Structure 1
Amino acid sequence: MRSLGTTALGRVAKERACPPEDPLSHRTRRRVAFYSHDTQGLGHVRRNIELASAMIAAHPATDVLLIGSATAAARLALPPSTRLVVLPGVTKDRRGGYAAARLDMTLDEVIAVRSDMAAVALRSFAPDVFVVDKLARGLGGELDQSLRVLADSRGPGGARPRVVLGLRDVLDRPGVARAEWDAALTTETLMQHYDEVWVYGDPQVYDPVREYDLPRPVGAMVHYTGYLADGRGGLEPTADMSVPSTSMSTARTKSRPYVLCLVGGGQDGAGLARTFAATPVPAGHDAVLVTGPYMDAAQRGFLHGAADHRLELTVHMFLDDPASLIHGAAAIVSMGGYNTVCEVLASRRPGLVVPRVRPRMEQAIRLDRLSRLTHLEQVHPERATPARIAAWLRDAVRRPHHPHHPHAVDLDGLATVPVLLEDLLSRSAAPLEVGRASA
C-alpha cells in the first residue's frame, strides 16, 4: 500500500480545513435554460430562441442553454451567449404517434438517453431559471430526472432554480387537450416542481385556463404574456453555423414586389406549397416560396422544377431571417403555426392562413379566434385552391400598408417576458409544496 508524503498529507489537511469555494458564489452572469421536445418542425425551438433573445436584450449578462432535438436548429441564428444541446431525435407520425428518428432504438430507449443527457446538461449548467415548452414532464416523462436534479440544486446565495412552464395560446380542442393534460400528470407536476406558467397569448383571444377548465391552483400560477410577435427577428447568423442557409440579402435577386408563401418546417406543408406554386401571381409581382428544412426531398424537387418553368417564382428551403422577408412582402399565404402567425401579425401585412386540421385542431382554433380580432384571414385547406388564393392575392396587394397600426390583440409578449423573469428572480423561492398548499 502506497503512503502519502508529508506534502500531500499537508495539502489534504488544508483542503479539509478550507474546502474549495463554491464556484457559483462568484457567478456574475445569469443563466437560463430552455427545453423543447421538438418532434415536428422548428416551432418549439424557434419560440425559445425568440424568448432567449428578448431576455438577453433586456439583461445582456445572460447565458442561455437551449435543450432540444431539432437538428435543423443548428441552421438558425442564435442570440449572443446562447448554445444548443441537441438530443437524439424523435419523430411524430400523422396519427400523432412517436418513434425514434434515426437510431435503431425503441421509443423507451431513446427517451432514456434523452433524459440522461438533459439531466447532465442541467446539472452542469446550473441555471437560475429553467423554461420548459409545452410538456411539463417532457416527452414521455423525460424531464422527471431533470426536475429532481433542479429541486436538489442551489445557486448563488442558496436559491433554488426557478422553473417555468411555457404554453402557446392553443393546445388542441378542449376535450383532447384536457385529457392529455391529465394523462401526463401535468397538474401534479406543476404543483411539485414549477413556480409559474407563462401563456404566450392574449386571454381575450383564447384563455386555456377557462377553455380547458384547468384546476384553480394552476390558474393561480398563470401569467399571460401576450403573443410573441412584435420585436421578432433581426438575429445575426452564428459564426459557427455549419449548415448553409439563405440570408435575406441573397433570398431574392429581383427588385419587383413579391407575395410570399410559408409552410413552417415543411413536414406537412407540401399541399399548400404545391397549390401556391400553381397560383397565378398578381401583375407586377414575383412569388417567393419557403419550403422549410423538413419537407420531403421529392416534394421539394417538384417545387424547384415548377420554379424552373415560372420566372416569377423563387423557391428557398430555409432562410436565416424569415421576419425580414415577411415584413417586405406585399401579401402572405401561410400555414397557421404559432411562430408564423406571430410574424405575420407583427408585419401588419395582409395574411391568408391555411391552418392544419390534422392530427390537431390547434391551428384551426387559433385562426378562428384571431380572424375575428385581427387583419388575418383564413381558408380551410380543402378550399385553398389556386383560383381562391389568386383572387385573394389580387385584392390583398392593393391594400395600404400601415406598419404601426395598433392591434386589438396584445402582441408585446417579447417585451413582457423579461419583466416576468425579473419579477420571478426578485422574489424569494418558497418551498413549492408549502406555497401550493394554500392555493
Structure 2
Amino acid sequence: MVYSHDAFGLGNLRRMLAICEYLLKDQTHLSILLVSGSPMLHAFRLPKGLDYIKLPCLNRGQSGTLFAKYLGTELEETIKWRSHLIHSAALHFKPDVLLVDKKPYGIQQELLSTLEYLEAHLPATKKVLLLRDILDSPAKTIQDWTQQGYYQAIQTWYDQILVVGMAELFDVAQEYQFPLPIAKKVRYCGYIRKSVQGLNRMELRWFLRIQPSEKLVLVTPGGGEDGFPLVSAYLEGLKHLPSQMKLRSVILCGPEMPLSHQQELQNKALPYPGVEVQVFTDNLLGYLDAADAVVSMGGYNTLTEILALQKRTVVVPRITPSQEQLIRAERFMRHGLIQTIHPDHLQPKTLMQAVMTQLADRATPALELDFNGLPNIAHHLSNLFFRHPLREPALA
C-alpha cells in the first residue's frame, strides 16, 4: 500500500507511480494499492496490478496554508474524511508493506490511525518512509520535524527510510540532524531514472516537424500553478533571439495553471510560429528526450529526468513556500550539472542568454549522478518481504 498525499504539483505522484510500475515488473504476484489526493491520477496509464483510491483534494497554494481544493468543506472535516478512507483501505487491503511519501504522519496526522491499526492488528506489516533528496532548508525542516513529532514517529513506527538521492549532494541524515537510531534506518538509493515509453526522440521531432538544422527547447513549469512568470519571461525573451538562430519551442503549461494564464500565454505565443503551447502530456520523458535544451523549475522529478537524459537545462527554482528547489538547484549548479537563475533575477533577456549558453555548452559535469534509484528501492523493499536478503542489484 502506497500513500502519496500530493497537495501541490505532480512531482510526488509521478515519482510514486514510477516506483509502483518498477515494483510490479520486478516482483511477481504483487498487488499495489495507491492512496492519493492528486486530481491527476486518472490522466496516467496504470499497469496491471496497480489500483488506487482517490482522496478529496487538498491544496496549500503558494502561501503554504492548507485548504480543500474543490469541495466547500472545512479543512478539519476533510482531513477526518481522508483519514477514514486511508484507514479503511488498510483494514481491507491488509498490506504487507506500507510505503509513505515524505510525511511520517501524513498531512495533519491523517495517517496516525492507520499506523496504530497496523501496529495493533497487522504487526508484521513493514512501514517504510520515502524521502526525496531535499525537503526544505535544514533550519526549517528540523523545526518542523521537531514540532510535528516526526523524529519520534520514525523511531516508533518505521522500519526503514529510503532516500531517493545521493549523500554526496545532500546528506539527509546529517543535514537534518537525524538521531543515531533514525540515521541507522536510512538507505540512500540514488536518483530515479525512468524509460521513455511513448514516442521517442526521433519520432517526436518528426511529429513536431523539427528540421535537422533547428534546435528544440522545452519549457516546463511542472504542475504549472505558479509557472506563469517563467513561461512569460521565456516568450518575451524570444525577441532577443539572434536572427540566425533557428529555434523551436514547446511549452507545457501544466494542468494546474489557471485558464486565464494559459490563455494569456497562448496570446503571447501568437507572433512566434516556432512556438507550440500545450497544457499537459503524459509523455513528458519523450518531450525531454526530443529537446536540445530545457527551461524548467527545480522540482525533483523534472530535474532528475532532465539530467538522466543528459540534457542542458536552465532552472528557475520555486522559492516559496519551501526552499527545497532553490537548495537543489544551487547544489546541482555547484557541480556543473545545470545553470540556475534566481526568480528574483529573472529577466527575459537574461533567460534567453542562458538558454543560448546551454545550447552551446558541451562541458562534462563535475559529478556523475547515480540513477539506480528504482532497482535500489525494489531491492530494499524486497528484503522486507523475504527472510533472507536478496543480492544487491546490478548497476544500470
Question: Please, what TM-score do these two structures have when normalized by structure 1?
Answer: 0.81
The structural deviation recorded for 1:251 is: 10
The structural deviation recorded for 1:231 is: 3.0
After superposition, the C-alpha distances for 1:267-291 in whole angstroms (9 at most, x for unaligned) are 1111101111222256222001111
Distance 2:7 2:174 in 1: 27
Distance 1:235 1:78 in 2: 14
- Which of the pair has more CA radius of gyration? 1
The structural deviation recorded for 1:54 is: 1.7
The amino acid of 1:152's aligned partner reads A
Aligned pairs, how many?
A: 378
For residue 369 of structure 2, what is the aligned residue in structure 1? 409
Contact residue 96 and residue 359 of structure 1 kept, 8 A: yes
Distance 2:99 2:344 in 1: 37
- Structure 1 residues 271-350: aligned runs within 5 Å: 271-280=229-238, 283-350=245-312
Distance 1:324 1:406 in 2: 26
Distance 1:268 1:251 in 2: 31
The amino acid of 1:268's aligned partner reads D
Compare 117-126 and 130-139 and name the one that shifted more: 117-126
Distance 1:201 1:97 in 2: 28
The structural deviation recorded for 1:177 is: 0.3
Is residue 2:343 matched to residue 1:381?
A: yes
Contact residue 373 and residue 408 of structure 1 kept, 8 A: no
For residue 11 of structure 2, what is the aligned residue in structure 1? 43
Distance 2:258 2:342 in 1: 23
The 4+ residue runs of structure 1 with deviation greater than 6 A are none
SS of the equivalent of 1:152 reads helix
Compare 33-42 and 384-393 and name the one that shifted more: 384-393
Residues 276 and 251 of structure 1, relative CA distance in 2, 3 Å threshold: farther
The structural deviation recorded for 1:53 is: 1.5
For residue 163 of structure 1, what is the aligned residue in structure 2? 127
Is residue 2:311 matched to residue 1:353?
A: no
Is residue 2:168 matched to residue 1:204?
A: yes
The structural deviation recorded for 1:399 is: 4.0
Residues 167 and 305 of structure 1, relative CA distance in 2, 3 Å threshold: same
Compare 405-414 and 384-393 and name the one that shifted more: 405-414
Specify which of 201, 213, 216 is matched with residue 180 of structure 2. 216
The amino acid of 1:302's aligned partner reads E
Residues 66 and 409 of structure 1, relative CA distance in 2, 3 Å threshold: same
For residue 9 of structure 1, what is the aligned residue in structure 2? none
The structural deviation recorded for 1:293 is: 0.5
After superposition, the C-alpha distances for 1:161-198 in whole angstroms (9 at most, x for unaligned) are 11100111111111110111112111222122211011
Distance 1:182 1:34 in 2: 25
SS of the equivalent of 2:184 reads helix
The structural deviation recorded for 1:252 is: 5.2
SS of the equivalent of 1:163 reads strand
Contact residue 335 and residue 356 of structure 1 kept, 8 A: yes
- Structure 1 residues 23-102: aligned runs within 5 Å: 33-102=1-70
Structure 2: gaps of 5 or more residues: 389-396
For residue 14 of structure 1, what is the aligned residue in structure 2? none
Specify which of 218, 221, 224 is matched with residue 266 of structure 1. 224
Structure 1: gaps of 5 or more residues: 1-32, 237-247, 429-439
Residues 126 and 161 of structure 1, relative CA distance in 2, 3 Å threshold: same
Distance 2:208 2:196 in 1: 21
Is residue 2:105 matched to residue 1:141?
A: no
The structural deviation recorded for 1:255 is: 2.1
After superposition, the C-alpha distances for 1:36-68 in whole angstroms (9 at most, x for unaligned) are 111111111111001112212212432221111
After superposition, the C-alpha distances for 1:280-330 in whole angstroms (9 at most, x for unaligned) are 256222001111100011001111122232111111110011011101101
Contact residue 101 and residue 130 of structure 2 kept, 8 A: yes
Distance 2:224 2:336 in 1: 25
Could you tell me the percent identity over the aligned residues?
A: 29
What value does the CA root-mean-square deviation take over the aligned residues? 2.2
For residue 326 of structure 2, what is the aligned residue in structure 1? 364
The structural deviation recorded for 1:250 is: 10
SS of the equivalent of 1:397 reads helix
Contact residue 201 and residue 224 of structure 1 kept, 8 A: yes
Contact residue 348 and residue 401 of structure 1 kept, 8 A: no
After superposition, the C-alpha distances for 1:170-227 in whole angstroms (9 at most, x for unaligned) are 1111111011111211122212221101111100100121111111111011111111
Distance 2:33 2:221 in 1: 27
For residue 192 of structure 1, what is the aligned residue in structure 2? 156
For residue 253 of structure 1, what is the aligned residue in structure 2? 208
